[in-house]
Amino acid sequence: MAIRFQYNKTSLQQQEKALKMRVRTLPTIKAKESALRQQVKHTKMEVERLEARLEEELRGYQGMVRLWGEFDPSLITVQSVELSMKKIAGVMLPVLGDIHYEIRPFSIFNAPSWWAEGIELLKTLATVGIEAEFQRLKMEFLDHARRKTTQKVNLFEKVQIPGYQDAIRKIKRFLEDEESLSKASQKIMRSNMERRAQQEGGTVL
């Protein structure tokens, strides 16, 4: 983006103020970017851990696959999921709380004996699945915030700060040249006046 400025002292002060603000703010933005990068990395590892656990849980119960045809999946449903908000690295993110399940009563005498175990299995699988999906969404939020922060760092470092520095340099050079020309003009004018005065003085004499 082009930095707009005028060749005068007021514009110079404005450019210097804008540059100072960005130079002062840049370390904070860089620290935020670094913190977000770490959070994204940590969350990604957590997603991978939960997905691996989910696969492990499924493998552990592969022997029961034939029995699932007898199972009534409506016995267990997710009733509610508790969420809260927390600021992480300057970004407000939802935090997963308790997951509440509703388990429909069934006759332990008439139902197959393994149904109780099946309900616990589904509860475990659902919990791990919800946690994994939640962490995946959290990672996307964090990564989006990190990308925006990285863009801001690049904007400050590569565009705005060099742009303001260049504008300040140009304004200062212009003002210095203007001052030099003014001094030179004054010197020439003074020399002319002195010469004229001497000539007039000589004529009078």
Domains, the chain, ordered by start: 9-182 (1.10.287.3240)
Segment 27-58, tens digit of pLDDT: 999 999 999 999 999 999 999 999 999 888 87
pTM (2 d.p.): 0.72
Q: Tens digits of per-residue pLDDT, 129-168?
A: 999 999 998 999 999 999 999 999 999 999 999 999 999 9
3-state SS track over the chain? CCCCCCCCHHHHHHHHHHHHHHHHHHHHHHHHHHHHHHHHHHHHHHHHHHHHHHHHHHHHCHHHHHHHHHCCHHHEEEEEEEEEEEEECCEEEEEEEEEEEEECCCCCCCCCCCHHHHHHHHHHHHHHHHHHHHHHHHHHHHHHHHHHHHHHHHHHHHHHHHHHHHHHHHHHHHHHHHHHHHHHHHHHHHHHHHHHHHHHHHHHC
* 66-104 pLDDT, tens digit each: 666 677 778 889 999 998 888 877 788 888 899 999 988
Query: For residue 203, what pLDDT is reported?
Result: 46
pLDDT tops 80 at residue 194: no
